[in-house]
Amino acid sequence: MVFYFTSSSVNSSVYTIYMGKDKYENEDLIKHGWPEDIWFHVDKLSSAHVYLRLHKGENIEDIPKEVLMDCAHLVKANSIQGAIHH
């Protein structure tokens, strides 16, 4: 079962975040993802796949830093190892 979360780190809008915890859930996310989903994954290591669903008309430059950090922390917390660089 794919997990989903909402990020309300930013007062103006709520973002939906999807996460797969194993390769089967990750494959489901890839299969059912939308073109406007942004994918997060730890580079070169085993980790969860995290997808951030953008709002209509929004692009990657519009994502608040706090929401990006929420996604990065989910990926890090659900990886074999990894580091978040600010």
Q: What is the pLDDT of residues 26-80, one digit of tens each?
A: 899 989 989 999 999 888 888 889 999 999 999 999 999 999 999 998 988 888 7
* Predicted pLDDT at 78: 85
pLDDT value for 82: 57
CA distance 59 to 73: 21
pLDDT (0 to 100) of residue 23: 85
| Per-residue pLDDT, 58 | 92
pLDDT of amino acid 39? 93
Which residues on neighbouring strands pair with residue 50, listed in sequence order? 19, 40
Q: In this structure, are residues 75 and 42 in contact, taking their beta carbons and an 8 Å threshold? A: yes
Contacts of residue 48, Cβ cutoff 8 Å, sequence gap at least 6: 19, 20, 21, 26, 41, 74, 75, 78, 79
Tokens coding 7: 């990020």
- Residues constituting the chain: 86
